[in-house]
């Protein structure tokens, strides 16, 4: 996988140095669709379809980012035996995070995403508000 913003083809050492000098804030996507954590899974799937998005940023009642949920995660929950039409996003997300800061280097973010096998990572400010998303292209 490669990062969303394509980097020019450089020698391996040059490409690594380029990642080390760039920050997440330089390449993150706009925050995109944000939903409240009390939304049901069905409504979230409808929002996702309407926005033609692969993921949604989930926020709490104070507007702080609590995580990111993907279409695949929602579909798995909906198809699970424990699912009801009252299942809310906060029930699916569990613990907050993971997140990254806009000042994190791309090398650090790339390593963390690959280690955790993440395709997208919310970028938050020091208060916890969503600023954007760092996503890997397919």
| pLDDT class of 137 with cuts at 50, 70, 90 | low
Other C-beta atoms lying within 10 Å of the C-beta of residue 22: 17
Mean predicted lDDT score pLDDT of the chain: 82
Residue 38 confidence (pLDDT)? 93
Give the Cα-Cα-Cα angle 87, 92, 95 (nearest 5 degrees).
140
28 CB-near residues (< 8 Å, 6+ apart)? 102, 123, 131, 132, 133, 134
The residues pairing with 29 across neighbouring beta strands, listed in sequence order, are: 133
The secondary structure of 19-88, three-state, reads HHHCEHHHHCEECCCEEECCCEHHHHHHHHHHHCCCEEEEECCCCCEEEEEEHHHHHHHHCCCCCCCCCE
The residues pairing with 36 across neighbouring beta strands, listed in sequence order, are: 59
Residue with tokens 């035996």: 81
- Per-residue pLDDT tens over the stretch 57-78: 999 999 899 999 989 999 999 9
Architecture of domain 12-135: Roll (3.10)
CA-based R_g, the chain, Å: 16
Q: Is the pLDDT assigned to residue 2 strictly greater than 70?
A: no
Inter-residue contact 73 to 85 (CB < 8 Å): no
């Amino acid at each position: 996988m490669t990062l969303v913003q394509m980097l020019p083809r450089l020698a391996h050492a040059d490409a690594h140095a380029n990642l080390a000098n760039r920050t997440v804030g330089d390449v993150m996507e706009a925050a995109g669709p944000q939903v409240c954590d009390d939304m049901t899974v069905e409504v979230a799937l409808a929002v996702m379809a309407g926005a033609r998005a692969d993921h949604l940023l989930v926020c709490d009642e104070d507007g702080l980012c609590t995580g990111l949920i993907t279409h695949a995660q929602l579909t798995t929950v909906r198809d699970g035996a424990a699912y009801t039409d009252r299942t809310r996003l906060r029930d699916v997300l569990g613990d907050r995070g993971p997140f990254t800061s806009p000042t994190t280097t791309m090398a650090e973010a790339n390593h963390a995403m690959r280690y955790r096998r993440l395709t997208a990572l919310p970028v938050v400010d020091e208060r916890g508000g969503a600023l954007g998303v760092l996503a890997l292209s397919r």
